[in-house]
Amino acid sequence: MPTPTFPSKLPQVGTTIFSVMSALAAKHGAVNLGQGFPDFACDPALLDAVAEAMRAGHNQYPPMPGVPALRNAVAAKIEALHGRRYSPDSEITITAGATQAILTAILCCVRPGDEVIVLEPCYDSYVPNIELAGATVVRVPLTPGSFRPDFDRIAAALSPRTRLLILNSPHNPSATIWSAAEMRRLEELLAPTDVLLVSDEVYEHMVFDGEQHQSAARFAGLAERAFVVSSFGKTFHVTGWKVGTVVAPAALTAEFRKVHQFNVFTVNTPMQHGLAQYLQEPQHYLQLPAFYQAKRDLFRAGLAGSRLKLLPSAGSYFQCVDYSAVSDLPEQAFSEWLVREIGVAAIPVSAFYGDNFDQRLVRFCYAKRDETLHTALQQLRRL
């Protein structure tokens, strides 16, 4: 008998651009600056803390919201950095990475008939998450070129059906950061509404040039309506561990946990204990801006004499470039050509838009060993 068929919930979804470009890089032996993950190891002290937790017997289910010691450590970190105290018991949940956190936040509050605003270009999980919840995606573009929020367009997109807005700062792919003034403007815009906020802050510890990360937790009018999402994987160079956090007011957290307990229930126990121990030393995350700024500066200096036009990289570990002086190819075709002919993989920025809006921009990831970056730069200087 033939396999039964059924209508796809995500009929437009195929293989992600990240998988496509990584596979192409492997095929051609190219330096992979496409997918956003480090090629260097984490701190051995973090591995020791996890191993110690395993040997201590922390290998069974933890509490559903997360190990108390880790939730306490997260609460202390947020209070120290942003001046807001979240209750570890009722307002902090440990998640299986940021992607699960975002999906769970959307599923807990979004229903068919609702609208969710995404600011494009945006990370590729947002739209499928919204569609799985049965809601309507409302795409609002950031200003082309600068990638700043256009508050007139955001205001025009708000409707009685708007349930949620997704914010991402530091921003993937553009590497821009929202200013305090922009956060206050969003706070004012949402104040008369019941619109909730998912604030994707996974690159929170990668903000450069002396600037400060403007978390939604810093602004009372945003914090009261926000699921604030963070990622230990991004922060501590362990993306494969898939451990993140969501902080939100108690009423929102209660609904979040109803979904969380039935899609993952709990998160890796020894890693939670190891992370709790590791967080006792704030320098482990406070030194990250300088660490990644040095890599950014190395990469930018290496491209300074090329025909690639560098866009600002104020946060995250990404660098976007305008290649229009090099080629007239569309972004996807140029990215494929770059792998084949130059030996470096990048990601077309058009992949982060629903309509594949093409600006002749590609995104590089500089979360790599200096040797990797030097090899890539030597290839890219051929352009």
Q: Say whether both 29 and 129 belong to one domain.
A: no
Would you say residue 5 lies in a domain?
Answer: no
- pLDDT tens for each residue of 311-341: 999 999 999 999 999 999 999 999 999 999 9
- Supply the angle between the helices 44-55 and 269-278 in degrees, to the nearest 10: 130
Would you say residue 222 lies in a domain?
Answer: yes
* Gap between the Cα atoms of 232 and 201, Å rounded: 11
Mean pLDDT, rounded, of the chain: 97
Average pLDDT for residues 194-211, to the nearest whole number?
Answer: 98
Would you say residue 314 lies in a domain?
Answer: yes
- pLDDT tens for each residue of 26-43: 999 999 999 888 999 999
Would you say residue 3 lies in a domain?
Answer: no
> Which of residues 284, 314, 340 is at a domain's end?
284
For residue 94, what is the domain's CATH number?
A: 3.40.640.10
pLDDT at residue 14 in the model: 81
Q: Say whether both 183 and 329 belong to one domain.
A: no
pLDDT at residue 1 in the model: 82
Dihedral of CA 232/209/79/123: which sign?
negative
Q: Say whether both 26 and 175 belong to one domain.
A: no
> Which of residues 231, 257, 284 is at a domain's end?
284
Q: Say whether both 236 and 364 belong to one domain.
A: no
Q: Say whether both 30 and 56 belong to one domain.
A: no
Q: Say whether both 290 and 263 belong to one domain.
A: no
> Which of residues 284, 313, 345 is at a domain's end?
284
Would you say residue 152 lies in a domain?
Answer: yes
Average pLDDT for residues 355-365, to the nearest whole number?
Answer: 97
Q: Say whether both 128 and 169 belong to one domain.
A: yes
* Gap between the Cα atoms of 341 and 338, Å rounded: 5
Would you say residue 189 lies in a domain?
Answer: yes
Closest CA to 378 of 344, 340, 337, 338: 344
Specify the number of domains making up the chain.
Answer: 2
Would you say residue 6 lies in a domain?
Answer: no
Q: Amino acid letter at 119?
A: L
pLDDT category of residue 225 using cuts at 50, 70 and 90: very high
Would you say residue 226 lies in a domain?
Answer: yes
Q: Is the pLDDT of residue 357 over 90?
A: yes
* Gap between the Cα atoms of 132 and 327, Å rounded: 38
Q: Say whether both 212 and 293 belong to one domain.
A: no
Domain around 309: 17-42+286-380
Q: Say whether both 215 and 342 belong to one domain.
A: no
Q: Say whether both 313 and 343 belong to one domain.
A: yes
Q: Say whether both 273 and 153 belong to one domain.
A: yes
Residues 6+ apart with CB under 8 A from 342: 30, 379, 380, 382, 383
pLDDT category of residue 342 using cuts at 50, 70 and 90: very high
- pLDDT tens for each residue of 113-142: 999 999 999 999 999 999 999 999 999 999
Q: Say whether both 116 and 254 belong to one domain.
A: yes
Average pLDDT for residues 233-256, to the nearest whole number?
Answer: 97
pLDDT category of residue 176 using cuts at 50, 70 and 90: very high
* Gap between the Cα atoms of 180 and 170, Å rounded: 13
Number of H helices, E strands in the chain: 15, 13
pLDDT category of residue 19 using cuts at 50, 70 and 90: confident
pLDDT at residue 36 in the model: 87
Cα–Cα distances in angstroms (integers) from residue 102 to residues 82, 109, 135, in the given order: 21, 11, 15
pLDDT at residue 351 in the model: 95
For residue 351, what is the domain's CATH number?
A: 3.90.1150.10
Residue % of the chain over a pLDDT of 70: 100
How far does CA 313 lie from the centroid of its chain? 15
Q: Is the pLDDT of residue 12 over 90?
A: no
pLDDT at residue 2 in the model: 87
pLDDT at residue 17 in the model: 87
